[in-house]
Amino acid sequence: MKLLVTGCTGFIGTALLERLRNEPGLTVRGAVRREVELPEGVGRVQVGEVSPETDWRSALAGVEAVVHLAARVHVMGDTAADPLAAFRHVNVGGTLNLARQAAAAGVGRIVYLSSVKVNGETGSFSEGDPVSPKDAYAISKHEAESGLREIAGRAGMELVVVRPPLVYGAGVGANFARLMRAVERGVPLPLGMVHNRRSLVALENLVDFIVTCTSHPAAAGRTFFVSDSEDLSTTELIRRLGRAMGRPARLIPVPPAWLMTVATLAGRRDDARRLLGTLEVDISRARQLLGWEPPIGVDEGLRQASNGWA
């Protein structure tokens, strides 16, 4: 099978290419914005920025399946004048342009990396639950999913949507990297009484699931959640992260209600909600339809993340 991967130089894409190049029976091509080196054995085609005008014809030639990772990602403190328009330009317009050209080229399947944020910021979710995207990024991901389903339905092309929660692993950035830095430096964290439940997915587990979705017959037309299958409280996550890093986690027991009040007064309510709220996903569909289980557990995932950090 000939497979095209977009977003192949990012955090997830880099790990995916490393895995795919060793898969038997696969010819892998990476779509890149500019001239960059890709792993040995992976083809490369330069397409420029992902937009509603991108020409994908050379990238799609002979391709049977596409893994679409490229996106304008969720960032804190977005400086775009109109964040929703900026997200829609890449995540909706760029994605649907790729899908239309893929359909015209005879591509049989698209695996689309979406986000649990399509369902909401907090709660316990399964695939059949109503969606409730809150911010511009989540709205753009939901709109892309809807547009992809319409295009795939008309063209007879198989679509697989994957909605991961927080992804961590070697090279992780953003909030998880800041948490690791705090643990490494021994910063006291007022998170010793947080009894929420958070689903996470180790990078190795997510990559394994994406690979499964590229070819498994039962994945066609489905939306999946993916996780490590062990949900942790923020307090337990920090403790186990400390063990993985060989650092004692310095946790101060402060009632979560107090933390939320202080964060609200400081204009950081959304940040506090991510640390204090529950966000769980049910991976029963992946298990039952695909026979999939996470290859590694949380502690191994944290160890890999901490090794990458060092």
Structure tokens at 208: 């394994």
Taking the C-alpha atoms of residue 300 and residue 280, their distance in angstroms, rounded to an integer, is: 20
Centroid of chain to Cα 16: 12
Query: Using an 8 Å Cβ cutoff, are 112 and 95 in contact?
Result: yes
Taking the C-alpha atoms of residue 196 and residue 259, their distance in angstroms, rounded to an integer, is: 14
Taking the C-alpha atoms of residue 133 and residue 226, their distance in angstroms, rounded to an integer, is: 18
Taking the C-alpha atoms of residue 104 and residue 97, their distance in angstroms, rounded to an integer, is: 11
Which residues carry out catalysis?
A: 137
* 3-state percent helix, strand, coil for the chain, nearest multiple of 5: 45, 15, 40
